[in-house]
Amino acid sequence: MTIPLPGGQVRGSKTGKPIMALLDLLGRTWALGIIWHLHSGPATFRELQQRCEKISPTLLNTRLKELKTLQLIESQQAGYQLSPQGVDLFDIISPLGNWSSQWAQALMDESKSCH
C-alpha cells in the first residue's frame, strides 16, 4: 500500500484531493490511534506499542513511517511525538472523542428504554 499523498491517487479519489488523502490515511488501521495516543506526550516505540494495545511491531513501524513522511509525527530523542501539524490535526479531531462518548451514552440509554 502506498502512502496517501495529496495530488496522487488515493482510496476514494483518482485526483488525490487533500481531504481524500487525509481520510485515506486516517482510515488505515491504527493511524488515527497513534495520533490520538501521541497527544498525551512523546513515546518510544515500545511505549507507543503499549499505548496502542500491543499493536504488532510491523504495523506500528509501517504507520510511523507513513505519519513521519506526511509530517504528522517526528522522532526526537524522547521518542516519537506529534509534529506541529500533527498537533493541529489532533485539535481538529479531539472533539470527536467527546461526541463519541455522548453518542455511546445515548445508544445505551435508548437500548435500556427499549427493554
pTM: 0.86
Distances (CA, A) of 36 to 26, 66, 109: 11, 15, 27
What's the average model confidence in pLDDT over 6-26? 89
Tell me the pLDDT tens digit for each residue of 49-87.
Answer: 999 998 999 999 999 999 999 999 999 998 999 999 999
Domain boundaries 30-99, CATH class? mainly alpha
Domains of the chain, by residue range, sit at 30-99
8 A C-beta contact, residue 80 and residue 115: no
